[in-house]
Structure 1
């Protein structure tokens, strides 16, 4: 899992997922989040910790939190703990160990194969952000950022960070935002509005965003009046942020649009992927104040 050659060429709208099990249920995590997979190791319990947190463990000199994914999903505990696995992941500028019951295989798929969960069975509190159909089975794509946010709400996007920038005038900048999480769209709307941006157009995936932009681009002479900047997440059903950025930068009219990738997957190991598709800036969640300052820098 440490071999960087497993990472796909950027902008292809493909990803690789690690399939893992909790009981009889199958779930997935993006390979880009995974640093390594381990057999269970000793865990030190922490008094009064969040119910999802098993405790802490040491890994090559680092002390990392261990999250019980079964508890986070309200599913039964493992029947064979000696066969369980630890998934060591890195995102949102932190490393975390996720305790799962089994790890089976890696699949290469397209983001277009990931279906947005139906509102009929998908509440705002759910940790499932997509459904993948493979080999006659359904694999649920989990929102690990949301699990960590439930454990530590202070780790998310905070309105207070924007307020620290001081009073700001209302901005006429027109911004398109692609973000699949309902919760994060709401948080981004609140924080960017607080920062003075009043013209915000939100889309829940890259496909909807590029369709909107390409439609606007049909009137090339007035396009620059309609949108001045794009902010995009990376992990989104249908079309990911890297492919969206690539499509924008290859379009004869859209290419001049600044694109900021705002994602939990901005790490030193993965930053090159955004550079390959021409992103003008890459900022790791939840650094909202950096995002606001970068918008001001890119659009005068």
Structure 2
């Protein structure tokens, strides 16, 4: 790898990512390299009585006890026909580590977020588990929504209204919030929880590209601060990711006044520097919605 290529991977806000390609049955899937801690050969799993059907059990990796998720079962696929090729992907997001049992792991691709298309309703019931589609000559790679798989297993691990209750009674606010989030499920959960926290004036966008075009239209009409008082953005989104979107906002003389809070499953101590490099005012790991509300209170114009 050249120094220039290494620089691209180290630099934040380039709108690029690397994905690990893996398979379940005949379908090719992808996971962001940032979420992957390591890929190992399957090891014996200790079963847990009365656990969720997609949880195979637990394994010990260097003193850490981690749950193993059978991805094929989570997606409604049959078991592997060549179990000798199976792999365990050890992943970390939402401040949680777990293991995903997949059928093969083939290669790593470096791509731009603008190469990733929004999924349609044509994926045979998979659409709710797919966050994006990468078209290649060899076929399509479907980016899997691992956060949804985890919330399906343990709803309490997601964004819930219960997390807001500890903030106590709150007044209604007329402040206008821009929320940039590609997941329909999370858009609804964020709307429900922020509304309960008093922020009912929300405008949602599915990716950074859509949100930036809207902000630029406001800039031309000199109405930026009339229509938006704060931005909350995810990181992983088709077309334009949250880091690149934040960089574009903060590099714009008229838009840079807007506070930007990154709300993502990828906020870890190892990756927090990426948000700082692009100028984010604050960063919160999903699903800490109460912490997000407190930061909105602090930063909103």
1:46 is matched with which residue?
48
Q: How does 1:233-244 map to 2 (within 5 A)?
A: 233-244=234-245
Q: How does 1:1-300 map to 2 (within 5 A)?
A: 7-121=9-123, 126-220=128-222, 222-299=223-300
Q: Provide Cα deviations, 1:176-203, integer angstroms capped at 9, x if missing partner.
A: 0000000100000011111111211001
Flag the 1:103–1:179 CA change in 2: closer, same or farther, 3 A. Answer: same
After alignment, is 124-133 or 61-70 more displaced? 124-133
Q: Provide Cα deviations, 1:238-289, integer angstroms capped at 9, x if missing partner.
A: 1100011001001111011100000000001111111110000000000000
Q: Provide Cα deviations, 1:1-28, integer angstroms capped at 9, x if missing partner.
A: xxx9994421011110000011221100
**Number of corresponding residues:** 296
Contact 1:68 1:100 in 2 (8 A): yes
Instruction: Let me know the Cα RMSD of the aligned residues.
Output: 1.6
Flag the 1:74–1:6 CA change in 2: closer, same or farther, 3 A. Answer: farther
Contact 2:197 2:293 in 1 (8 A): yes
How many angstroms does 1:126 deviate by? 2.1
How many angstroms does 1:145 deviate by? 0.1
For 1:296 and 1:175, locate their aligned partners in 2 and report how far apart those are by CA, in whole Å: 11
Unaligned runs of 5+ in 2: 1-5
For 1:61 and 1:121, locate their aligned partners in 2 and report how far apart those are by CA, in whole Å: 39
Contact 2:54 2:71 in 1 (8 A): yes
How many angstroms does 1:124 deviate by? 8.8
For 2:51 and 2:224, locate their aligned partners in 1 and report how far apart those are by CA, in whole Å: 52
Contact 1:8 1:15 in 2 (8 A): no
Unaligned runs of 5+ in 1: none
Flag the 1:124–1:140 CA change in 2: closer, same or farther, 3 A. Answer: closer
After alignment, is 131-140 or 61-70 more displaced? 131-140
SS at match of 2:164: helix
Q: Provide Cα deviations, 1:155-188, integer angstroms capped at 9, x if missing partner.
A: 0001011122111111121110000000100000
